[in-house]
Amino acid sequence: MAGQSCLVANDWICWEYVTSRSQELTDATVEHVWITGISVLIGLIVAVPLALLARRGRRWAAPVLGLTTLLYTIPSLAMFSLLLPLFGLSASLVVTGLVLYSLTILVRNVLAGLEAVPEDVREAARGLGYGPRRLLWQVEMPLALPSVLAGIRIATVSTIALTTIGSIVGKGGLGNLIAPAVSSSFKAQVLTASVLCVLLALAADLLLLGVERLLTPWTRATRAPRRAGRAADRAADRAADPARAGVSVASGASGEGA
């Protein structure tokens, strides 16, 4: 019917839905961002001491990495069910579950960053009188920052997606809109909330990438010579190919003359 409302027609794309539910969409988005941010922050605070424990040796690394990996394999419904007696139907339940899921990424990246610090740098710092704590926070952590920030980026994007699962307890941000809309086949709400989730993930990834480049300018300085070196190698290979071809032709001609 001409002029029929897209809400009545239950269209996938419906601007009328966006304008009429703008406050609801805003509230859900803010809740989604808050839950994601606090979960990743707490996850990082927990991951750092776990990574420090794991780098003491295989005796500690195996149980720490094994436990965080095991937590990541637990289905979300089972995880929330296990946490329910402790936190009830609250945002703390969702945040705790997301923190546990983020540990497998954050712990491994923090550990990888710390292990990548050259030993001669540590020895030089100790020679300058750096104690263990000062060595960690003023030398090792700054050098491990690229790996740590990469882990934060991955954990953040992953947590944005997992936050929607919190809708089972009414604390899922945009998931609170997606779940009932799927049940009632409300197409505009499903699509709008899903698109907002994707946009949040893209925005967070780009923002954290910018922060990473701002805080680790030396990584760009080291990547540029590598790219230039690879380009020079490719150019040398291309220049050498005609020369090799010329040598082959000349060898063939001399062989025929003989």
| Domain ranges within the chain, ordered by starting residue | 18-215, 226-253
Separation in Å, CA 208 to CA 140, 144, 150, 157, 230: 21, 16, 9, 10, 28
Give the model's pLDDT for residue 24.
86
Q: Is the pLDDT of residue 252 over 80?
A: no
- Look up the CATH superfamily of 18-215: MetI-like (1.10.3720.10)
Predicted confidence (pLDDT) per residue in 70-100, tens digit: 999 988 888 888 888 888 888 889 999 999 9
Predicted confidence (pLDDT) per residue in 169-212, tens digit: 888 888 888 888 888 877 788 888 889 999 999 999 999 998 88
Is-contact 164 197, C-beta < 8 A?
yes
Average of per-residue pLDDT values in the chain: 82
SS3 130: coil
Predicted confidence (pLDDT) per residue in 222-242, tens digit: 555 555 556 556 655 665 555
Is-contact 193 32, C-beta < 8 A?
no
Q: Is the pLDDT of residue 109 over 90?
A: yes
Most confident range, picked from 5-19, 141-155, 240-254 = 141-155
Measured distance CA(157)–CA(43) in Å, rounded: 14
Classify residue 57 as left (phi > 0), alpha (psi -120 to 50) or beta.
left
